[in-house]
Amino acid sequence: MVDKIGWREDPAVYRVFLSFLRGAFEGGLPPTERLALLDARRIATVSEAAVNQALASGPCVIVGRGSQYFLRNRKDVFRTFLYASRDYKIHRLITAGLSEEKAITDVDTIDADRAAFVKRHLKLSWPEPHLYNAMFNTQMGDSYVAEMLVHCIQQVAS
């Protein structure tokens, strides 16, 4: 479930529903602290804890979830941002089997949702280039990007 809503803002109806559950009605439910609801703010808190726990467990690859921000002061972390043009992303999704309409909708909403989530909960713009050690255009091809990534990590590790 976190993966489906992890970078999206909560819909207005859901936020109203949460307000209702949190006691905005007479005879309300227990205080917010006792409610374990999965809203965007809680996802940000849980994400930071998960990122730190994963890193504490040993070498790992962490994809998204604000890790570029949570780990910004760590010298033992290599932060990478992968990007592509809108047209390329749409083409890639269509090639993967999505309809053109769905691909366009996904490309136009997912990045906007990520940007809104990062702005609201991390107080940053998305992407923030200074939080990354490298940025790669995936239009170069997966194998080329993978080779470049491995080369960078080897250089940093040595």
Residue 137 backbone dihedrals phi, psi, to 5 degrees: -85, 115
Q: What is the pLDDT of residue 38?
A: 61
Per-residue pLDDT at 81 exceeds 90: yes
Name the percent of the chain lying above pLDDT 70: 74
43-69 confidence digits (pLDDT tens)? 778 888 888 888 888 888 888 767 888
Predicted TM-score (pTM) of the model is 0.69
Residue 82 backbone dihedrals phi, psi, to 5 degrees: -105, 135
Q: Domain 2-157's class? A: alpha beta
**Average pLDDT of span 115-129:** 84
Within 10 Å of residue 7's Cβ, how many Cβ atoms? Answer: 24
| Angstrom distance (rounded) from CA 106 to CA 8 | 12
The pLDDT-based confidence of 15 (bands split at 50, 70, 90) is low
